[in-house]
Structure 1
């Protein structure tokens, strides 16, 4: 499936490595993953964590590595499959994106015998464009930063990618001082109609039409939603706070839908006009990307036009399928192994005897299989497949074939269409909560006088 219209790159420049040698450095004692030495943790999320690392083959190289769990023992089988959809889509997108204002992915380390995968990316030492200790930025600095974000976002939109979580936290400052858009975890690859019905993103950055139409599953366009979030991000850079904020999420939703945009202090006429147009609550009259790129505030009255667009990209269904080596067959092995209790104990006893374990060890190892965790079971499966009962292999193979038979349906969910629009697993609970908050907000019966009052900052917004 082709996702752009103009010129296209035909190959990804991202290196793909299918083995992960995880060990400790004898010299420094730090963890090594292939040639990458882990230096310190940069952040952590539901997917795993991001660490700073260095390539030991290049003395001064500093890189960021995103360590992703391929499944979680805390999730159900269906949740893990949906979670893999999210990962697969993010990896496929990042493999193909090649733009100076989007974080660059260098290498994907994906060992089929590992429950983790590793994304090696450029390290952006400047951190987020805003954080809790930031102060307001000057109009001049905001214009420079906005031009970077606009060019990166336009590149995404031109290639059928809706980011869906654009916010200061996901916009990082590179060593060259320019901004990079990152975190495509809830992004979607859309068709030409650009219509969707799923609630995605962070509450204070959601567009009014998303809040209103998601209640009745009415479709809305994706690009204007990103442009609204771009406007919220600019407002926060200028005023160091969000424009619509309440004590609770449902109150924030009411303000987004009903409250009139206001400015804490006077701005230039051009910036005031730009903010009013980009934060227009009506998506049909909201400024679009072509209009943004010729607005007097961003172009300094035409003296600083935007450069020509870069080449388009191509993301095929095969690239989505091959984004990484799925560990689901191994997960299915775990499920089979738990059901076939007797065969498991026999297989583990054979392994234990071959490794000359003590009698006490064997006794401890033959406790109820439900007490074993996934890592222990998986280690045994991978360590010596040759010593398992042949009947067990047959049952495992049948189970894996059953899973593969349904894989087409799973893969089809990576590309959104009108009939199928699955929720992002990583945000499933959060989305359900937001849907509930929207219902409780009773958006269509709100006294306007109550919405004009000043509110304290939203808890997670600067």
Structure 2
């Protein structure tokens, strides 16, 4: 199963995207081919085999670009066609994007090649970030490569069950933020959760300042890069440009979200540990040992996201913490996550997330650090796991906001728990983000480690960076297909406009 694109086309697309992002630099830097090649050696944008080819494509594209370019599609297409070796889909995509670029900037002389300067800046920023905060020691392992499939075949098998490529749909699991979620299995009997989204509907659905499709792209870009035992794994993206539906094949979490009715029901069927809980109030709370086990899994996953992937989740809550049949908790749903560029935090200002789990600083209308916000949401979740209710229970938005900003939640001694649990809860629900517990403090906490008897041993995977370019190319085949449609539409509208003008001229003559 392929992506529908050659590696050459994908890498050409990435090179153009990087050029577009940085082409508005004020400083003009002349391209030096030998130095550019040395810089390119430090990147992972292209393979060794095609490195020289893509370098030449990019340099030739800029060198052959005139200072003034007409905004008509034909002129822009002529400029791009001077670059040797660029495939037709890439030319069409570049054509559309350069049209937008010309219209927005109106100053093509600013588009001089600045790749060398850009790489210098990125390198210095990375080194500065490493000096400010050393990276943790990582145990390097091979991350799982997500399969990108551009072919979709839907059918009904001999048993009357729906078939999506090699996956047989077994049952509905529910409704997610972006569409339906179904349980499925492949020919080997392996089970998966398939998230199904309608691309057209997502683009019309506004969430925060972005549409839902943009948020889905962000989630896919993040999940393609991450691999950890406490983060839900994405296996395959089925994105047929000819179809409206998009399919994400993900790890199946058999017990569902923690604290849900389904979770407690399945837990009780497989274990007698919850027999003490009244069936009428079956989703009230967990035992101390369960709390310690699940919360340890959560902290290991959150530590990985913060320190190894530079991702702030922004929507930590029980619904996004899923448990599998092996009783392992994993973090899910990265649709509203924030990516820390170069490891820098503190530039978040919007109130994205679920209000009951938002930290006090989010409501103050200023920039705030992202990591303490996730810690706060984790504290609210732990409070629910311990007490079976929210620390700030109001159902009214303004009243809830006031409680989070001003009130202190009650901390009665929970039945069956060691008193040290209260210190952890209070540390995570500290209203001042600077005094709030850091993740390193939580990892060494007395209650969480049972006073050193159960130390947290996190398994780090190789450090990865999720960039805005990854988000833009998360659904590459779809982007190019859309670009082709836009170009065709522009040409059609142009011909239609010319016909109208010609018709008016004829009418005037008559």
Q: How does 1:153-192 map to 2 (within 5 A)?
A: 153-158=302-307, 159-191=309-341, 192=343
CA distance in 2 between counterparts of 1:13 and 1:134 reads 37
Q: Name the SS of the counterpart of 1:235 in structure 2.
A: helix
Identify the match of residue 104 of structure 1 among 219, 233, 254.
233
Q: Name the SS of the counterpart of 2:330 in structure 1.
A: strand
Q: Name the SS of the counterpart of 1:111 in structure 2.
A: coil
Do the aligned partners of 2:203 and 2:211 also contact (CA within 8 Å) in 1?
no
Residue number in structure 1 paired with 2:148: 16
Residue number in structure 2 paired with 1:42: 173
Structure 1 residues 92 and 29: alpha-carbon distance in aligned structure 2, compared to 1, 3 A threshold: same
Give the gaps of 5 or more residues in structure 1: 341-390, 397-462
Q: How does 1:343-422 map to 2 (within 5 A)?
A: 392=492
CA distance in 2 between counterparts of 1:189 and 1:296 reads 31
2:321 matches 1:321: no
Residue number in structure 2 paired with 1:259: 407
Residue number in structure 2 paired with 1:225: 373
Do the aligned partners of 2:153 and 2:165 also contact (CA within 8 Å) in 1?
yes
Task: Map Cα deviations across residues 183-212 of structure 1 (whole Å, 9 max, x no partner).
Answer: 111112112221111111101101111122
CA distance in 2 between counterparts of 1:220 and 1:241 reads 27
The size of the alignment, in residue pairs, is: 338
Residue number in structure 1 paired with 2:508: none
Structure 1 residues 10 and 86: alpha-carbon distance in aligned structure 2, compared to 1, 3 A threshold: farther
Please report how far the alpha carbon of residue 40 of structure 1 lies from its aligned counterpart in structure 2 after TM superposition: 1.5
Residue number in structure 1 paired with 2:356: 204
Choose 1 or 2 for highest CA Rg. Answer: 2
Give the gaps of 5 or more residues in structure 2: 1-121, 262-281, 497-510
CA distance in 2 between counterparts of 1:108 and 1:93 reads 13
Q: How does 1:73-88 map to 2 (within 5 A)?
A: 75=204, 82-88=211-217
Residue number in structure 2 paired with 1:151: 300
Do the aligned partners of 1:10 and 1:314 also contact (CA within 8 Å) in 2?
no
Structure 1 residues 309 and 323: alpha-carbon distance in aligned structure 2, compared to 1, 3 A threshold: same
Do the aligned partners of 1:71 and 1:80 also contact (CA within 8 Å) in 2?
no
Do the aligned partners of 1:9 and 1:313 also contact (CA within 8 Å) in 2?
no
Using the size of structure 2 for normalisation, the TM-score is 0.61
Residue number in structure 2 paired with 1:419: none
Please report how far the alpha carbon of residue 11 of structure 1 lies from its aligned counterpart in structure 2 after TM superposition: 6.2
Structure 1 residues 239 and 74: alpha-carbon distance in aligned structure 2, compared to 1, 3 A threshold: same
CA distance in 1 between counterparts of 2:141 and 2:300 reads 18
Q: Name the SS of the counterpart of 2:200 in structure 1.
A: coil
Structure 1 residues 44 and 336: alpha-carbon distance in aligned structure 2, compared to 1, 3 A threshold: farther
Structure with the bigger RCO (C-alpha within 8 Å, sep 6+) is 1
CA distance in 2 between counterparts of 1:109 and 1:302 reads 45
CA distance in 2 between counterparts of 1:46 and 1:304 reads 36
Residue number in structure 1 paired with 2:456: 306
Structure 1 residues 183 and 392: alpha-carbon distance in aligned structure 2, compared to 1, 3 A threshold: same
Cα RMSD of the aligned pairs, angstroms, is 3.0
Identify the match of residue 255 of structure 2 among 126, 132, 140.
126
CA distance in 2 between counterparts of 1:21 and 1:111 reads 9
Further displaced range: 1-10 or 232-241: 1-10
Residue number in structure 2 paired with 1:69: 198
Please report how far the alpha carbon of residue 268 of structure 1 lies from its aligned counterpart in structure 2 after TM superposition: 2.7
Further displaced range: 146-155 or 188-197: 188-197
CA distance in 2 between counterparts of 1:69 and 1:81 reads 16
CA distance in 2 between counterparts of 1:294 and 1:317 reads 34
Task: Map Cα deviations across residues 195-236 of structure 1 (whole Å, 9 max, x no partner).
Answer: 111111101101111122x3xxx1000000000000000000
Please report how far the alpha carbon of residue 242 of structure 1 lies from its aligned counterpart in structure 2 after TM superposition: 0.2
